[in-house]
Amino acid sequence: MVDSRQSQKNYQVKGLMGPVTIQIDCWGVPHIEAQNIADAFFGQGYAAALMRLWQLDLNHRRQVGKLAEVFGAAFVPFDHVARLLMFRGPIESEWAKLDSKVEGIASAFVAGINARIDQIQADPALLPPEFVALKMTPDRWIKDDLLRCRVSASPNIQGEIRRVMLAQRNALALDTLAHPLEPEWPLTVPAGLDVFKISSDDLKLLNYRVAPLPFDKIVQVAGADQATVAELFQPDIDSRNGSNAWVIGPKHTHTGRAILANDPHLPYSVPSPRMVCHLKAPGLNLIGAGPVWRPGVQFGHNEYIAFGRTDFQIDQEDLYVLEVNAAGTQYQGFKATESIARISEEILVRGQLPVKVDLAFTPLGPIIAEDRQVGRAVVLRAAWLEPGAATNLEYVPKVFATNWDEFRAAIRHAVWGTNYMFADTHGNIGWQSAGRVPVRPNHDGLMPVPAAGDYPWSGILPIESMPGEFNPPRGWIASANQMPFPADWPVAERRISFEWTANDRHRRLVSIFSDMKPNHSITDSWCVQQDIYSGRAKVLVDLLRQTQGGDTTARALLERWEHDIAADSPAAGLYEYWWAYLQREVRSLVVPAHINDLITLVHPHVALAALTNPDSRFGAQPEIKRNALLVLCLDRAYAHLKTLAQTLGTQSDQVIPNWGRLHEMHLKHPLKSKLPGALAELADVKGRGSSGDGSTVYARWWPGIDHHTVTGGSSFRAVIDVGNWWVSMASMGPGQAGSPGDQHYSDLYQPWMDNVPVPLAFHQEQVNELTRSVINLAASSD
């Protein structure tokens, strides 16, 4: 029962079948209880709009292509690409392909969002401050948009273009410098492809699907100042979106129950990329976190199972080069000509007349670039644009699973590549990779192909042909976006992907869990998530011990160090700058000048291998030159840090700054300058230095020596005691709410930074104890 002393509000809203109670706890987590499942998801949509309406609306407008109507002409390309990548097939048949529950849940979720928007329209005082500052209102949602909008972001296409441009310069074999293929695979130009008919220019429009929004170019609004764009960085290869997740079986735990841990990584933002919520109705009791604009949760648990995920980096996209006829109506397919459908749409633009954009579609996919004068076009073929690929709704089916078989059935039709981690109350643990993998019988997907060639997709790889484990003898499973195939994997028959995140985090997890004692606790897993040991640092420092000369103070600092990337460590800061300088120098040695613009980053493992086993690229005496380079870069890094110390400061007994002073957690609100004074002061979440880097288990991305701000990592993490749910631990920063000035906007920042867990309240007694406010929703009689 809810305490009568708690703050309570009562509303009548359209779209409900029965009453819904939303208890918001002291951490800002909404606990939603309804009398039926649809109403519970109505409550989730309502709570999302209540707490994160600006974030919700911004993402919605980006997906449906309606940014320019509120922000102005600079946003037209973002709307253009969103319209181009929208699913254009029959919607009713798409709903029929999904689990029977999903359409009703989607309808209820959208109705909940719109119910809150209706309240705001009736009382504009409820508008979040960003809307007020920009003199705009939120856009109403349409259920079918959850199926039409499918924009996904895979780095594979960028790799295809890099390789074709390397082939133009007779340097295709050097692509391994940027990203070694895993498993090993011969890289060849597809038969029939003219590599000079495609280039990076063909991605100009497509790149807007993931480009940062230009908030500095918002059309001027009377009575408001121009916004300043949040500072953006070029990430290094370690900041490719990744995550850590593991499950530990009962034989290793002190309770005899399974443990599931998950810390997903994304670029940091304010508000954070995910929100925690709890849904309860007959047949459903679910808590977890996920994107605010999707029903269900990505990570969490119900009463029977816990689940987590990391990215399983499937190659889901291909580029096809088309030969188009003079009329622009057909192109040459493998055995026959194929039709091109063309339409025009108007994009509303704030402050000016609408802009017309031309969209073209083929049976392969949308045309992303075209030169009508020479009869050439480029098409994007994507698994997530195929019929049945409901990316916005794929989290829903699994939340109802009660065992391994039901869980695997629920993820069978997943779209986005995912390593799904599983544990249940019976002590079972499992991992199943899932997602749409195109079957390419005649090519490997690593380079563009000519549409006139024999390069079909012949289906989707079934889940039974994808890697996974259930109750392995070792008693634990860990995933950190590494290449997961065993040595005997049939690569030629199952070409899932060849590009994976560098496996440093996974190697560290394997070393930890391989030596695990039989009394592992959730506190132990919580500490593993904070592990900051750097295997790369150890390799480099061991190499340094083989050299002589250089600054003796700098050498001593590193040689006494234990390779932990700690915020309070000057040695960690010195290592990071040393490694940055070494990467630059290694790149200058191994990347020929004529492809310098194509390989802007050398893969970290390639750089380490070059330093560990120097060859003729270092000159006539490679080891001597390597040793000289190690010392030279260390001296440069140390001198650089001594100069920085004059402006950044140091601890009293130090000559150079701690790593945390060079690696600070400042979260910037992109519209800070448009908010009124008091809220503007609260908009940015100003923090302090952080441990970790992009290669440690405790992942905190760093853009390099020219910037001192952490750009990404884990904003939500959890460790779940499977079955004893009430002791589970979580962290979510900086807060649950999205509006500056809200009590839950940044109240979780300090616990998040201090690695202090908060509970994922699941049992009703626990929820009631932590509740601070209650919203009662009742069905409107209208």
User: Structure tokens of 753?
Assistant: 């930074």
Contact predicate 299/290, CB 8 Å: yes
Q: Is the sign of the CA dihedral 746, 285, 396, 434 positive or negative?
A: positive
Distance CA 675, CA 688 (A): 24
Report which residue type is found at 300: G
Length of the chain (residues): 782
- Give 423's strand partners: 306, 429
Contact predicate 415/390, CB 8 Å: yes
- Give 287's strand partners: 278, 301
Q: Which residue in 765, 762, 728 sits closest to 255, CA to CA?
A: 728
Distance CA 571, CA 659 (A): 8
Outline where 386-436 has alpha helix (H): 404-411
Contact predicate 30/297, CB 8 Å: no
On the CB side of 764, how many CA atoms lie within 13 Å of its CA? Answer: 9
Please calculate the CA angle 243-521-399 and round it to the nearest 5 degrees: 50
Contact predicate 702/665, CB 8 Å: no
Q: Which residue in 612, 613, 637, 621 sits closest to 550, CA to CA?
A: 637
User: Structure tokens of 229?
Assistant: 């764009």
Distance CA 670, CA 665 (A): 16
Q: Please indicate if the annotation marks 318 as binding a ligand.
A: yes
H or E stretch including 768? helix 764-770
Catalytic hit among 152, 239, 243, 497: 243
Q: Please indicate if the annotation marks 504 as binding a ligand.
A: no
Q: Which residue in 548, 547, 610 sits closest to 584, CA to CA?
A: 610
> Is 243 a catalytic site residue?
yes
Distance CA 157, CA 165 (A): 12
Q: Which residues contact 54 (CB under 8 A, 6 or more apart)?
A: 128, 130, 131, 738, 739
Q: Please indicate if the annotation marks 765 as binding a ligand.
A: no
Contact predicate 474/515, CB 8 Å: no
Q: Which residues sit in the known binding site for Ca(2+)?
A: 160, 315, 318
Residues designated catalytic: 243
